[in-house]
């Protein structure tokens, strides 16, 4: 599980990082509307654990590079998404992806901040196309964010022979308060439901919980714990996500 060590290596670099602009991220699941400055590069490592006693214990691992292309446009490249099943003691490569975020308005100086998000992820057995509308408002030390999500996924035994298609709608909502220049505390809710190729709606899944973010100079780390509030016993009861980022 060498991939799990990368976020902790970034954490160890904290004392050596010079002061600079800190990340805009305050939530684990809700994206902000502002993009990276032109020419800035950021490395992010994600770990998301999903657990339910005696049923499920998996880890999703992501390594992402983000680039500030223009004053309003940011490009993200998911170098690799990995999945580890702790119960089966198996790990495998899942997907790589490209995402683009284009800012439309500022969350502090405009009545509401907004941005458009697009992502294409491809792997050996799954191809995913995802779009999001990002909204955000900042008032003093308070930040509220909302993401609307539409995702289509095609899966099969191998790339080029994918026949099963699913569609998922979702939304995330977050409310954060900046405790200081370095710490933010937030509450977050994630609500998703599958449409089964637009025809067969499934029961909704709802998760809610706290987030804590630390940022200093070119470094940030965020931790989110979400707990299922619905009764879907085949899904994770708890999701824990840690994101560690370094700006260059």
The percentage of residues in the chain with a pLDDT greater than 70, rounded to a whole number, is 84
For residue 80, with 0-12 CB atoms within 10 Å meaning exposed, 13-18 middle and 19 or more buried, which class applies? middle
2-247 under CATH 3.40.50.720, yes or no: no
Whether 246 and 22 have beta carbons less than 8 Å apart is answered as no
* Each residue's pLDDT tens digit, 81-135: 999 988 888 888 889 999 999 999 999 999 999 999 999 999 887 899 999 999 9
**How far is the C-alpha of 85 from the C-alpha of 88, rounded, in Å?**
5
Going by C-beta distance under 8 Å and a sequence separation of 6 or more, which residues neighbour residue 16? Answer: none
Query: In angstroms, rounded to a whole number, what is the distance separating the alpha carbons of residues 93 and 121?
Result: 13
Confidence at residue 221, expressed as pLDDT on a 0 to 100 scale: 97
Structural domain spans, the chain: 2-247
Q: What is the pLDDT of residues 188-207, one digit of tens each?
A: 999 998 877 666 666 789 99
User: Beta strands 113-122 and 90-105: pairing type?
Assistant: antiparallel
Residue 13's pLDDT is what?
46
């Amino acid at each position: 599980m060498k991939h799990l060590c990368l976020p902790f290596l970034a954490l160890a670099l904290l004392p050596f990082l010079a002061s600079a602009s800190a990340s805009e991220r305050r939530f684990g699941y809700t994206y902000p509307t502002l993009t990276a400055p032109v020419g800035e590069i950021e490395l992010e490592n994600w770990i998301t654990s999903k657990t339910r006693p005696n049923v499920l214990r998996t880890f999703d691992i992501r390594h992402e590079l983000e680039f500030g292309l223009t004053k309003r446009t940011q490009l993200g490249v998911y170098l690799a998404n990995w999945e580890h099943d702790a119960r089966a003691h198996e790990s495998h490569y899942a997907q790589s992806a490209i995402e683009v975020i284009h800012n439309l308005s500022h969350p502090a100086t405009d009545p509401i901040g907004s941005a458009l998000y697009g992502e294409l992820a491809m792997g050996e057995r799954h191809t995913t196309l995802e779009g999001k509308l990002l909204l955000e408002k900042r008032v003093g030390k308070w930040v509220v964010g909302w993401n609307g999500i539409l995702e289509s996924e095609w899966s099969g035994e191998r790339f080029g022979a994918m026949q099963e298609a699913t569609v998922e709608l979702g939304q995330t909502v977050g409310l954060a308060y900046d405790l200081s220049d370095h710490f933010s505390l937030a509450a977050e809710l994630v609500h998703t439901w599958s449409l089964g190729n637009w025809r067969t709606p499934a029961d909704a899944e709802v998760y809610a919980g706290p987030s804590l973010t630390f940022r200093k100079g070119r470094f940030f780390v965020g931790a989110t714990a979400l707990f299922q509030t619905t009764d879907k016993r085949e899904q994770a009861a708890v999701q824990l996500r840690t994101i560690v980022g370094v700006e260059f």
